[in-house]
Amino acid sequence: MDEYSRFVDWDKMDVSAQSQDTKELTCTDFHELKQLARQGYWAKNHSLRAKVYHKLISNIPCRTVTPDANVYRDIVVKIVGKRNSSSLPLPEFVDNSLIPTYCLNAEGVGAVRKIILCISNQFPDISFCPALPSVIALLLHYSRDEAECFEQVCRILACNDPSKRLIDQTFLAFESSCMTFGDLVNKYCQAAHKLMVAVSEDVLEVYSDWQRWLFGELPMAYITRVFDVFLVEGYKVLYRVALALLKFFHKVRAGQPMESDSIQQDIRAFVRDIAKSVSPERLLEKAFAIRLFSRKEIQLLQMANEKALQQKGITVKQKSCLLMFQQNVHLAVHAENFKSEIVSVKEMRDIWSWIPERFALCQPLLLFTTLEHGCSLSRFYSHSEGHEPTLLLIKTTAKEVCGAYLSTDWSERRRGGNKLSFFGTGECFVFRLQPEVERYEWVIIKHPELASSGSETENHAQPASSTLSSSSIPSDPSDRLSPFLAARHFNLPSKTASMFMAGSSECIIVGGGDGQALYLDADLNHGRTSHCNTFNNQPLCSESFQISILEVWGFRD
């Protein structure tokens, strides 16, 4: 076919999908490149795609000393020798991953193993990189020889631009990316997440497969389209596509019995056979329709998850560490030492499945209860301050049970002086457990007038007919604060900062999602809710209610 066909088994390729048009790519503008990649401009021309990949990879900023094609030619004979390439053992950092053949011929399959071994020799700092075999197999399609493929992979691995993350190379980075993906699923695929919680004993284990869906199970015609965009836009694209895969899995399999005893196996099988239900174009369309958070915000979340893992001592792939990690995540709410007058162990575990992954490592710790500490707002503050995050649980005299996950320390309320000061992040949410279970997505409280007319408020915005504004329909992207970290991480003016919690000596306010908000009086005996009729949902609880029991829970390492 062309000079890049050495390792391709064309009998296994869909040649009819290839165009012989001699197109060229001359643009260098990032936004234009991004649009061309998403549209598949070079997807149907094998030679053009090879040239585009070479151009994009050659522009990746790398370490000063990065192994090139000449290094490969020097070391491959010494490392491989006369051994049969098909029997070459893989280094431990690829986690015994199966090598996707991606329509490679026999020489290409053997070349993957040779290149992996040479990379292992040149990159001793790589400790865990399960995506590597797939990336090498893919790039062999668009390389003239093994040495050229080796050089391109090395440039991807040696990228030193801190803002352009490409491939995970340590277990810490990989595992934190799985936690980050779990957080994103919890935010963007709530229906699918609910299914995972219902049918899987280990939700994080399911989400730990997310890179395998892409670099292992996804067919050649799909992963190449993903890789086209990945080389232009970076790591965030992978999250987008994995979320889209999960959305399609839930849509196609909703209401159907599982095909195996494992949801993991079912998802893998769905991704392998995705051509039966979704085209590559439709997959990318779905992925880019997700209003995902910015690269900076996702990077901050990744860093927070890495820190949580480091604090638990989980930095390398060891069986004992993994067992401890899984026990911390999924058995954090122990039946023998958990006791609440409001929720059962099962209900608390359901709540635990909603909270950010980095805090799911912790165990619940009772900080305050009206049964023991009385109905005093000052005691509520004194017992809750110094803890971040916290969980608020309320049982009403009508047997309703609701609550809120509060991401920020209540001591932040003092920043507003004597005024009713709003603070918090988009990780806050409110939920209902009785009479029905419902979690309400976060929103932006633009108008602190939600408080009673007698309370002092900060005037952050012009009055409007609705107190709450849904995050799904923001008027401007600048109106959205990171859903993960505090406002102090961002140079946002108070006028555009999202606010979710408020507290004074007179009341507590928590803004939840889908138009829901919770207001508690100072005596902690009475409360009320605000329910925006714009949203088609049930109210959090009665519009006005009496509190039977109130509890505040912290998170213990």
List phi, psi (to 5°) of 382.
-65, -30
Give yes or no for residue 351 having a pLDDT over 90. no
Is the pLDDT reported for residue 385 higher than 60?
A: yes
CATH class, 171-312 region: mainly alpha
Q: Is the pLDDT of residue 517 over 90?
A: no
Which pLDDT does position 22 carry in this prediction?
A: 56
How does residue 169 score in pLDDT terms, banded at 50, 70 and 90?
very high
Q: For the segment 96-129, what is each residue's pLDDT rounded down to a tens digit?
A: 667 788 999 999 999 999 999 999 999 999 999 9
Structure tokens that stand for 227 in this block: 């890789």
Residues 178-203 have pLDDT tens digits of 989 998 998 888 888 888 888 887 78
Predicted local distance difference test score (pLDDT) of residue 494: 38
The two three-digit tokens of residue 348, written as one number: 């608390």
- Can you point out the beta strands (E) in 385-452? 390-396, 401-406, 421-423, 429-434, 438-440, 443-445
Query: 131, 119 in Cβ contact below 8 A?
Result: no
The more confidently predicted of residues 548 and 327 is 548
Q: Is the pLDDT of residue 326 over 50?
A: no
pLDDT of residue 394: 94
* 361: confidence class by pLDDT, cuts 50, 70, 90: confident
pLDDT tens digits along 25-75: 777 788 899 999 999 989 888 899 999 999 999 999 998 889 999 999 999
Question: Are the C-beta atoms of residues 271 and 217 closer than 8 Å to each other?
Answer: yes
Task: Render pLDDT for 4-13 as a digit per residue (tens, 0 to 9).
Answer: 889 998 888 8
Nearest to 512 by CA among 457, 470, 474: 470
pLDDT band at 296, cuts 50/70/90?
confident
**pLDDT(319) > 50:** no
In single-letter form, the type of residue at position 300 comes to L
The residue-averaged pLDDT of 445-472 equals 32
- At 7 the three-state DSSP class reads coil
The per-residue pLDDT for range 228-270, each reduced to its tens digit, is: 999 999 999 999 999 999 999 999 877 777 767 788 999 999 9
| pLDDT over 90 percentage in the chain | 40
Q: 125: Cβ–Cβ under 8 A, 6 or more apart, which residues?
A: 169
pLDDT recorded at residue 527: 86
- Predicted confidence band of residue 455 (pLDDT cuts 50, 70, 90): very low
The 10 Å CB-count burial string (b at 16+, else e) for 468-489 is bbbbeeeeeeebbbbbbbbbee
Of 320-334, 385-399, 460-474, 516-530, which one has max mean pLDDT? 385-399
Contact at 8 Å (CB) between 396 and 374? Answer: no
Higher-confidence position of 446 and 68: 68
pLDDT bin (cut points 50, 70, 90) of residue 501 is: confident
Look at the block and give the residue holding tokens 């409110």. 430
Full-model pTM: 0.74
Q: Which sequence spans correspond to the domains of the chain? A: 10-158, 171-312, 345-448+496-556
Across the range 465-472, mean pLDDT stands at 30
Give the DSSP H/E element, type plus range, for residue 171.
Answer: helix 171-188
Average pLDDT over the chain, rounded to whole? 80
Distance of CA 6 to the CA centre of its chain: 38
pLDDT at 88: 77
Which pLDDT score, from 0 to 100, does residue 483 have? 39
For residue 281, the model assigns a pLDDT of 95
